[in-house]
Amino acid sequence: MTITIYHNPDCGTSRNTLAIIRQSGEEPEVIEYLKTPPSREKLIELIAAMGMRPRDLLREKGTPYAELNLGDPKWSDDEILDFMLAHPILINRPIVVTPLGVLLARPSEAVLDILPNPDIGPFTKEDGEVVVDADGKRVA
């Protein structure tokens, strides 16, 4: 079974998502998308699979979003894609692909909805937030 995560190791949400995937018993293909950005075709495919428009995947925090005036509705989907390809940090993360679907794992525990084995046992995020308690119940 193949699971892929478009990952930024500097992002806590991305690290937590990767940890949840691994705790489910899977070792995903990890694509550090800032080093190896997806092609235009792959990005379009991912966005479509998530049922989004390119603008829905834009990240604002810690990016050139404001400087590029990307909040202006004048930008077309193609132009937004151009910006994402020129500045991959604009692509929100982590994006996870499993046989059960594709999603933007924000919050990180959203990935449980598309994991083949979502029964991961107790799990606590880096910041101490409990996602799955000692009884295996999803808390977050």
DSSP 72-99: STT--HHHHHHHHHH-GGGB-S-EEEET
Residues taking part in catalysis: 11
- Report the b/e string of 119-140 with b at 16+ CB within 10 A: ebeebebeeeeebbeeeeeeee
